[in-house]
Amino acid sequence: MRFKTVQEAFNFYRHFSVEDIEKRAAAIIDEVNSNPEANIEALNIELEALEQVKQNWEDKTAEKRSQFNPITGMNFEQPRFTNDNVFASAEYRSAFFKTLLGQKLMDQEQLAWNRAMELAEKRANQFNVVSDSAAVIPTQTLNEIVSKARDMGGIIAEARQFNVPASLKVPIATPIGRASRHQEGQPVETQKVGLASVTFAPLELIKVLSMSAAVRHTAIDAFEKYLVEELATCALEQIAYELVNGQGSEEGEGLGVLAGVTWTTDNSVSYEDAPAYTDFAKMMGLLKRGYGRNAKWAMNNSTLYNTVYSLTDQNGRPIFVPDPRNDEVGRILGREVIVDDYLEDGVVLLGDWKYMGWNLANGIMIEVSRESSFKSGLIDFRALAIADTQVLVPEAFVQLAEGV
């Protein structure tokens, strides 16, 4: 049987045993050596496919390496952890929390922990870690923390999250114009795709949690739930604050929207005592084309209900329309409202919040110390992250504020 492509031969042989594959490969080599009229091209295709099938079998066998237990006489599959999956594995998640709680690890948990520590050593250069027990928080737990942060609402729930190395320049696409009509035979003008870029700084974010030494008897699920709640409400709250009020890396913090955008009459509307309906309409007009489609208002709770709630348009209709049926606060002029209490009273922003970004460069690293609070009988847990916030595209935002 002759095959036209390697893929065709691979599909034919992929269910053959290794022994049959080796026999066929040996037969092909004999034919090449003994038959001057052999179709070398076709035989090479078949031989290459056989090598790929054999390699496929060897990879599968390596993934199922067995570890024999002489006491039980049973074989257990030994997991093959890679750079990509070790932090997401159930074995590492269990090992992570058991280590923090001072509990003994099972064999497979120990394997996962050892592999993770090898990778964590490479990350440690980017963290200010001083012990050998620093460990990267499991992927599942980190996802739950981020999910909790988004549940908090505010700008952090709308901003774009990154997981890129610090100091890496990241390109950001900006909206482009619509297509144009074309006359046959006429040249078409090329439009350059709009690109911005952002570089996240390697800024440290730290939080220390202290718990009683009796925590070692806590169930893993209960301890994980506590850790998720604490880190979501303290560490990521700082990120939420800096997305609004951060002054930049020169001040040792992320850059927020208020300091990261240069406010002029081109992107800012001013009022004296109280804003009017026309001020909101003017803000809609100031926002550049392309950003208005996904634009949302942002203000704190006090501004919404003490200033905006009572405003009406020229026909006496309220400009703020509550939305109790959906997962929204409400809408102004058809645009959704975000409540973020890190904004100052009287400040209203409008923009596409996907052009604000926050970065967790290497997840969150946890260290445990049983000596630092020796006299008080406490155990200290230190959470450390490389985190930054940036305005990705300043022209995506406009502002309403008093006396600006």
Burial class (CB in 10 A: 0-12, 13-18, 19+), 294: middle
* Predicted pLDDT of residue 83: 56
Does residue 150 surpass a pLDDT of 80? no
> Can you tell me which residue has the tokens 């390496």?
65
Per-residue pLDDT for 342 more than 90? Answer: yes
CA angle 57, 139, 225 (to 5 degrees): 135
- CB-side neighbour CA atoms (13 Å) of 42: 8
Strands 320-322 and 330-332: antiparallel
Residues 353-394 pLDDT 10s:
999 999 988 788 888 887 766 677 788 888 888 899 999 999
Structure tokens that stand for 374 in this block? 């020796």
SS3 content of the chain, % helix, strand, coil (to 5): 40, 25, 35
- DSSP-assigned beta bridge partners for residue 173: 195
Can you list the positions of beta strands (E) in 213-303? 268-271, 296-299
Q: What is the mean pLDDT of residues 345-360?
A: 94
Local structure of 286: helix, strand or coil:
helix
pLDDT of residue 71: 47
Residue-wise over 38-63: b if at least 16 C-beta within 10 A, else e? eeeeebebbbebbebbbeeeeeeeee
pLDDT score at 113: 87
* Count, residues in the chain: 404
Distance CA 297, CA 335 (A): 7
Q: Which of the pair, 78 or 251, is modelled with greater confidence?
A: 251
Using the 8-state DSSP alphabet, how is residue 164 labeled?
Answer: -
Question: How many whole angstroms separate alpha carbon 253 and alpha carbon 81?
Answer: 36
Residue partners of 218: CB distance under 8 A and separation at least 6: 101, 226
- In this prediction, residue 133 has a pLDDT band, given cuts at 50, 70 and 90, of low
Question: pTM higher than 0.75 for the full model?
Answer: no
Contact present, 298 and 343 (Cβ < 8 Å): yes
φ/ψ of 364, rounded to 5, equals -125, 130
Assign 328 to helix, strand or coil.
coil
Contact criterion met (CB below 8 Å) for 214 and 188: no
Which whole-number Å values give the CA distances from 278 to 146, 207, 291, 367, in the listed order? 38, 45, 20, 54
Using alpha carbons, select from 92, 70, 69 the residue that is nearest to residue 79.
Answer: 92
What is d(CA 65, CA 60) in angstroms, rounded to the nearest whole number? 9
The residue behind tokens 């890190």 is 342
Q: Which residues of 133-167 are buried (b: 16+ CB within 10 A; e: fewer)?
A: ebbbbbbebbebbbeebeeebbbbebbeebebebe
Tell me the per-residue pLDDT of 165-224, one tens digit each, with 9 for 90 and over.
888 788 887 775 455 554 666 665 544 445 678 889 888 888 888 877 777 677 888 888
Is residue 14 over pLDDT 50? yes
Distance CA 237, CA 146 (A): 11
Find tokens 């490969």 and name the residue: 25
Pairing of strands 296-299, 335-339: parallel
Give the separation between CA 35 and CA 389, rounded to whole angstroms: 69
Nearest-angstrom CA–CA distance, 125 and 127 = 6
The mean of the pLDDT values for the chain is 81
Sign of CA pseudo-dihedral 23, 26, 30, 32: positive
